[in-house]
Structure 1
Amino acid sequence: MRLSDDERDEAINALSEHVRTGRLDLDEYGTRSAKVTAARTRGELMPLFADLPAPHPSVLTTGARPAPVRSMPMARFGPGLVPIAGLIALVLFFTVARGMWLVFLLPMIVLLVAGRKR
């Protein structure tokens, strides 16, 4: 998960607290804070706080993982429904609806519904 600017600031504040309590010297603080500033993901922050007790940035202590992305049936099958609707419209045009051109609106309606469900 990518880090926000606020999460990086919180990590630097946690490192500052470790300097105030004497757990880190200024050189190590400079090195670690530069790595925090360059960090893009939570995984890049973990080694910087692995050898330090609390406080840690909340992004590391909450243990929150991103929610799994659930694929919706319309998202999986939606793109395949449009050509099927086109074929159905074509069959209807030449059989039941005999020349009724409005049946060709069916694929567009399916496309709109499938696009809205995403």
Structure 2
Amino acid sequence: MTEYQRGNIRVSDTEREDALGKLGQHMSEGRLDIEEYGERTAKVATAKTRADVLALFDDLPEPRPAFGQPNPPAVVRPRRAQVSRQLTPLVPVLGIVLLIGLTIVLKVPFFFFMLPFIFFMVQSGRWGHHHRR
């Protein structure tokens, strides 16, 4: 059995955070009361080795710290920035449609108020040009 498997390797801050999160899960599921949770989190904060941390999970089921094992792949969700970047080119188009509709319904030339905005968008290169990062 290697030192890695025995847990004699010093624990990292990231591994401590993982253990704290998993203790929090056990508390929220009712396996630990607030006092036990406080005691164990204090011990995680002062733990020197992986074995010190693993000992705090001896009487608990999964989840447990999985030192050195890759985390399962995260579910990829579109970020708001990506979605808003995709919708940004639609804003001027929807604005123009709205102003044309108001011009027709109210018989007031609202469309002409939009011309400076359209000119600015075309000149600045923002209309229809998507910059991918």
In the superposition, the TM-score normalised over structure 1's length comes to 0.50
* Higher-RCO chain (CA-CA 8 Å, sequence separation at least 6): 1
Which protein is richer in helix relative to its size?
1
